[in-house]
Amino acid sequence: MRPVTDLFQEAERQMIVCNACRYCEGFCAVFQAMELRRQFSRGDLLYLANLCHDCRACFYACQYAPPHEFDINIPKILAQVRAETYEQYAWPRRFATLLGQSRLGGALFTLLCIAVVLGFVLLVRGPEIAFGVHTGEGAFYRVVPHWAMAIPSSAISTYGLAVFAVGLLRFWRDTGGKLSELRSVRAFLQATKDVVILRYLDGGGEGCNYPHQDFSSSRRVFHHLTFYGFLLAFASTTLAMIYHYALEREAPYPLTHPVVLLGTAGGIMLMLGTAGLLWLKRRSDRMPADARMLELDVIFTTLLFLTAASGMLTLAVRETAAMGVTLAIHLGISGALLFLAPYSKFAHAVYRSTALVRFAIEQQQNRAGH
Ligand code: SF4
Ligand code: SF4
């Protein structure tokens, strides 16, 4: 891995070459933001890196890409700076390297989480409950009591949100943002629209140069399935909480219940999207890729796939003797995913959205002539 100072110096060198060349200026937001600058501070580079969505168009179009002596590889250098962002703004930073960027660390931590929940079910609740058949309202909570699900998941979520909130404010400050700018409703609306329609993933209509040089919409399709599958699964969990706390109706719910329908649609979309993204990643050109970002991608996408798959399996076996163990495995994987969020590729959602808000503000100021 390149030392951090060298990394930013190299990113600055490549940006200066691009700023003189400007052949790619219509490709994406990165080049529009780059052209507003003459010099590139560390904060500028963090901002530009998180505007890049790794479509790779600028790599295949570049006359200065390797083997040219200028050695310009914008997707790779910006991916390296992005990986540095996720590590730099995580707390404690060591967790990012040990768990979020190491397949072995991520796998061992996930196995540990599964072992903790399985151990609780087998040893504390006992084999009769673990391997019994439980049906009707409250069946899941006869295996893992509601408090044993709600307290750890609330604590981990609160911790993750706090880590992200601090990281986000530091990122905003380091990239030159002012706290008063965070009140810009127009910028937030523009950035939200860009995120919701995943505006920059269509490559101007032809798709990305991913997994290879040819234009393809496959990454966009799988990314959409993953993104909207995640939102549906989140909506299902939120609705289940409303039913539990406000309407006093305990899970599991009938197959035609909105909670189950949303969760099933979300789970299937997540499985298809994440499996597709992993398949594309396996086939993708390694030349414009960064090894550390590849680790982050594979760990997070695999965990998302396993969470969705184990959730769907729990639904399929919920009225059999396999439900107890399957539920424990699902809760262990989900717990690992939740805990690793601030140290994993999930950080992409936070820092990319923040960079898009900053981009919207900058474009508005530019149009207004500031
Ligand atoms: S990536 Fe290459 S072609 Fe594109 S602007 Fe930079 S130097 Fe020019
Ligand atoms: S890889 Fe795509 S998104 Fe990133 S800088 Fe190049 S053209 Fe822009």
| pLDDT tens digit sequence for 224-256 | 999 999 999 999 999 999 999 999 999 999 999
Nearest ligand for residue 14 CA: 1
**Residue 72 or 368, more confident:** 72
Q: How far is CA 273 from the centre of its chain?
A: 13
Cα gap 332→327, rounded to integer Å = 9
pLDDT of residue 200: 78
Cα gap 347→345, rounded to integer Å = 5
Q: What is the mean pLDDT of residues 168-194?
A: 88
Q: What is the mean pLDDT of residues 162-191?
A: 90
Is the CB of 34 within 6 Å of ligand 1? Answer: no
Give me the residue label for tokens 């960079």.
355
Q: Which long-range contacts (CB under 8 A, 24 or more apart) does 95-104 make?
A: 95/342, 95/343, 96/343, 99/340, 99/343, 99/344, 100/296, 100/299, 100/300, 100/340, 100/343, 100/344, 100/345, 101/292, 101/295, 101/296, 101/299, 101/343, 102/295, 102/299, 103/295, 103/298, 103/299
Is the CB of 64 within 6 Å of ligand 1? Answer: yes
Q: What is the mean pLDDT of residues 101-130?
A: 97
pLDDT of residue 370: 60
Nearest ligand for residue 355 CA: 2
pTM of the full structure: 0.94
pLDDT of residue 186: 87
> Residues 248-300: pLDDT tens digits?
999 999 999 999 999 999 999 999 999 999 999 999 999 999 999 999 999 99
pLDDT of residue 1: 61
> Residues 188-221: pLDDT tens digits?
898 888 888 777 777 666 888 999 999 999 999 9
pLDDT of residue 2: 63
The residues spanned by each domain of the chain are 4-87, 91-365
Please identify, by atom number, the ligand 2 atom nearest to the C-alpha of residue 51. 3
pLDDT of 137 over the 70 cut: yes
Instruction: Choose the residue to mutate in 12, 19, 31, 72 for probing ligand 1, maximizing ligand atoms within 8 Å of C-beta.
Output: 72
